[in-house]
A and B are shown apart, each in its own frame.
Chain A
Amino acid sequence: SQKIEQNSEALNIQEGKTATLTCNYTNYSPAYLQWYRQDPGRGPVFLLLIRENEKEKRKERLKVTFDTTLKQSLFHITASQPADSATYLCALDDSNDYKLSFGAGTTVTVRA
């Protein structure tokens, strides 16, 4: 069966450190992978998209890697700030039809 697994439900880090989140998938062959941020009681907000032929993508303090051999994506928040505290979701579109399957998310808490 298809599965998307994100590492540990919660990640607590000190301000200024780097948070690294993992997304592993099985029985998917996505052409691209996306990361979203979700705050409590709100809808997800798009952060980054990485295609299967891209190894790494950056946006400000965010970095995403995509390894289709390992079937894994890593999401890094560098120089973390308390405002980065949220749940981060990885999402796959397996059929190129915009229908997204989501991981359960990792909740990041950045301590001042």
Chain B
Amino acid sequence: GAVVSQHPSRVICKSGTSVKIECRSLDFQATTMFWYRQFPKQSLMLMATSNEGSKATYEQGVEKDKFLINHASLTLSTLTVTSAHPEDSSFYICSAPRAGAYEQYFGPGTRLTVT
């Protein structure tokens, strides 16, 4: 099956610093990837759509200047949380659909803790 990886799996950073999370599709090309956030005991909330070669589109209420997304190639999207605050602590998950299919392949997630 299709494989999506994320790096790092866990990160702890100080308040005010920036953190970059990578999402890679390992065995297929993904022109579109999605970034979700999941708080404890809650469901996944879509944050943004990452488009290869063009700007990301953000869901309502998600600050594009705070959550920078870059989709530099057909297999890599990055999410940078800028000037992180403790309330940004969450589980960040990326996903990508294979071409011609509706099911999504999710990465293993990145646990971000901001102290």
A contacts, CB < 8 Å to B: 32, 34, 36, 41-46, 49, 89, 93, 98-105
Contacts and interface: CB of A to CB of B under 8 A. Distances in A.
Nearest to B57: A99
The dominant DSSP class at the B interface is: strand
Given A44-B44, A102-B44, A103-B43, A93 B102 contact: yes
A74 B1 CA distance: 25
Contact of A44 (B45, B97, B102, B106): B106
A43 B107 contact: yes
Interface of B: 4, 6, 32, 34, 42-46, 49, 91, 93, 95, 97, 102-109, 111
Contacts of B34: 98-100
A34 B44 contact: no
A92 B111 CA distance: 25
Contact of A43 (B32, B43, B95, B102): B95
B80 to A, nearest CB: 20
A36 B103 CA distance: 10
A26 to B, nearest CB: 16
A32 B44 contact: no
5 contacts: A46-B103, A49-B102, A98-B104, A100-B34, A100-B95
Contacts of A99: 34, 46, 49
Contacts of A44: 44, 93, 95, 104, 106
A102 B43 contact: yes
Nearest to A39: B108
Given A49-B102, A102-B44, A43 B111 contact: no
A80 B34 CA distance: 32
Given A42-B109, A98-B97, A99-B49, A89 B104 contact: no
